[in-house]
């Protein structure tokens, strides 16, 4: 157990066994033995490791029987959805996801209002406050979107799936009444994101096909490839509006499909997320977006552990 924790913390710091060995004053082979569990570090090495990992020795040594890698999160979410189980992982995933992904895009609904819509199908009206009907519809639609995503999460990602995501998200909103806005299909007019130009409407279908061909050709999909896909998808910006929300639901789906702990970008982290996307897309720095997503993954892991640790 200790060896696995040393490896996890080392990898989270993006350090090699050689770098750890130099800090501890031992050979790399010794660090390898620590991580395999065939040798335990002495107290001085434990002190140094705790300093490097920025945790206490107690935290390093603490036993934790919960192993998230043994949890099939997709299976759990599907089961709880079908049970209509309240107050557990699926229930709170729905509320957390809908509130944060919509708030990032400008929704004025509070988290309490989002929860109330989900739990009662009604809205708490705040005094002297005008509520945008589209905010309500897109929140309710996002609940449906998550359910649909869970139903097809293990299926191949295709253009039809992505367009269906957009159609579910935007169904019934004021956008459906705009001649130039096609719900469930690619954009007609140029748009931009974060000051960067996106794919011209006439080239969207071509670029989306190329993106999906690249993605389906991958021999292995890790969280890094999913983030790479997201960056490229947002750079294309294929829909007139709703690209961020569709892009984030795609990431969640693909994590579930590939047995990777999924994640929800929180509204409080949106500036880090936007900066990360901008830097990734302009080829300046990939690490900022990756770190933001990994941090979100850690937060979702804690949610999973909170609800499932007693099972």
**For the segment 87-138, what is each residue's pLDDT rounded down to a tens digit?**
999 999 999 999 999 999 999 999 999 999 999 999 877 766 788 999 999 9
Is there a contact between 91 and 85 (Cβ–Cβ < 8 Å)?
Answer: yes
Mean pLDDT of the chain: 93
Q: Print burial letters for 153-175: b (CB count within 10 Å at least 16), e (below 16).
A: beeebeeebbbbbbbbbbbebeb
For residue 310, the model assigns a pLDDT of: 59
Is there a contact between 230 and 247 (Cβ–Cβ < 8 Å)?
Answer: yes
Indicate if 8 and 113 belong to the same structural domain. no
Which of 16, 37, 64 finishes a domain? 64
Q: Phi, psi (5° rounding) for residue 193?
A: -140, 125
Indicate if 204 and 182 belong to the same structural domain. yes
User: What band does 158 get if pLDDT is binned at 50, 70 and 90?
Assistant: very high
Indicate if 170 and 46 belong to the same structural domain. no
CATH assignment at residue 22: 1.10.260.40
Indicate if 183 and 208 belong to the same structural domain. yes
Is there a contact between 183 and 171 (Cβ–Cβ < 8 Å)?
Answer: yes
Which of 49, 64, 79 finishes a domain? 64
> Of the given ranges (9-13, 55-59, 60-64, 259-263), which has the lowest mean pLDDT?
60-64
For residue 14, the model assigns a pLDDT of: 86
For residue 69, the model assigns a pLDDT of: 83
Q: What is the DSSP letter of 108?
A: -
> Of the given ranges (189-198, 205-214, 286-295), which has the lowest mean pLDDT?
189-198
Domain count across the chain: 2
For residue 283, the model assigns a pLDDT of: 85
Is there a contact between 254 and 221 (Cβ–Cβ < 8 Å)?
Answer: yes
Q: Print burial letters for 54-89: b (CB count within 10 Å at least 16), e (below 16).
A: eeeeeebeeeeeeeeeebebbebbbebbeeeeeeeb
Q: Phi, psi (5° rounding) for residue 200?
A: -65, 145
Both tokens of residue 13?
Answer: 């710091």
Structural domain of 279: 71-308
For residue 12, the model assigns a pLDDT of: 84
**For the segment 236-255, what is each residue's pLDDT rounded down to a tens digit?**
999 999 999 999 999 999 99
CA distance 118 to 86: 11
Q: What is the DSSP letter of 122?
A: S
**For the segment 16-39, what is each residue's pLDDT rounded down to a tens digit?**
999 999 999 999 999 999 988 889
**Looking at residues 281-293, what average pLDDT do you find?**
93
Indicate if 177 and 287 belong to the same structural domain. yes
**For the segment 40-97, what is each residue's pLDDT rounded down to a tens digit?**
899 889 999 999 998 888 888 876 667 788 899 999 999 999 999 999 999 999 999 9
**Looking at residues 266-285, what average pLDDT do you find?**
94
For residue 64, the model assigns a pLDDT of: 62
């Amino acid at each position: 157990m200790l060896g696995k924790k040393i490896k996890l913390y080392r990898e989270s710091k993006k350090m090699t066994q050689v770098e750890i060995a130099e800090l501890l004053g031992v050979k790399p082979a010794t660090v390898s033995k620590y991580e395999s569990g065939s040798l335990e570090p002495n107290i001085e090495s434990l002190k140094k490791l705790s300093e490097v990992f920025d945790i206490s020795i107690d935290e390093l040594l603490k036993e934790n029987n919960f192993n998230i890698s043994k949890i099939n999160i997709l299976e759990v979410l599907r089961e709880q959805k079908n049970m209509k189980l309240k107050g557990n992982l699926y229930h709170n995933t729905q509320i957390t996801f809908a509130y944060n992904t919509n708030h990032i895009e400008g929704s004025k609904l509070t988290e309490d209002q989002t929860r109330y819509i989900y739990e009662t199908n009604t809205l708490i009206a705040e005094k002297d406050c005008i509520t945008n009907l589209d905010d309500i519809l897109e929140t309710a639609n996002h609940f449906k979107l998550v359910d649909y995503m869970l139903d097809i999460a293990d299926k191949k990602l295709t253009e039809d799936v992505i367009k269906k995501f957009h159609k579910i998200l935007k169904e019934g909103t004021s956008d459906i009444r705009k001649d130039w806005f096609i719900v469930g299909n690619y954009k007609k007019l140029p748009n931009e994101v974060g000051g960067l130009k996106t794919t011209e409407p006439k080239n969207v279908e071509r670029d989306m096909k190329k993106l999906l061909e690249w993605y389906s050709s991958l021999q292995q999909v890790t969280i890094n490839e999913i983030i790479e896909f997201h960056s490229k998808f947002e750079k294309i910006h294929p829909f007139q509006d709703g690209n961020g929300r569709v892009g984030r639901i795609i990431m969640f789906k693909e994590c579930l499909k590939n047995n990777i702990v999924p994640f929800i970008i929180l509204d409080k982290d949106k500036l880090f997320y936007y900066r990360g996307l901008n830097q990734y897309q302009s080829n300046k720095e990939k690490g900022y977006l990756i770190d933001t997503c990994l941090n979100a993954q850690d937060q979702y892991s804690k949610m999973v552990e909170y609800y499932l640790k007693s099972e």
